[in-house]
Amino acid sequence: MSLWSSYNGLSPKTRMGVGIGILVWGTIGLYFSDAAGDKMGIKPTEADKEALAKMTPKIHVIDRPDTKQ
């Protein structure tokens, strides 16, 4: 039995509880990940920050000429 079919076999209330639990788990992970990294001594270096800045997509806005007359 696959994980998806096991999930679909649960009652709707249980599925909602599982979904909310996963959302809460992810939110807690996002909230505490920086604090946990600081306690473990993992801090990004300037080189890491520069590499991340290079990978970040840039958005360039190009104005269209006004075609309405």
Does the pLDDT at position 48 exceed 70? yes
Question: What own/partner pairs with CB < 8 Å and gap ≥ 24 does 46-51 have?
Answer: none
pTM above 0.75, yes or no: no
Beta carbons of 28 and 20 less than 8 angstroms apart: no
Tokens of 29: 């992970």
Look-up: residue for tokens 């290079």? 54
Contact 33, 25 (CB under 8 A): no
Quote the pLDDT of residue 69. 63
Q: Tell me, what's the pLDDT at 9?
A: 93
Residue 24, pLDDT > 90, answer yes
Q: What are the residue boundaries of the structural domains of the chain, listed by start?
A: 8-55
Question: How would residue 23 be classed by pLDDT, with cut points 50, 70 and 90?
Answer: very high
CA distance linking residue 10 with residue 1, whole number of Å = 13
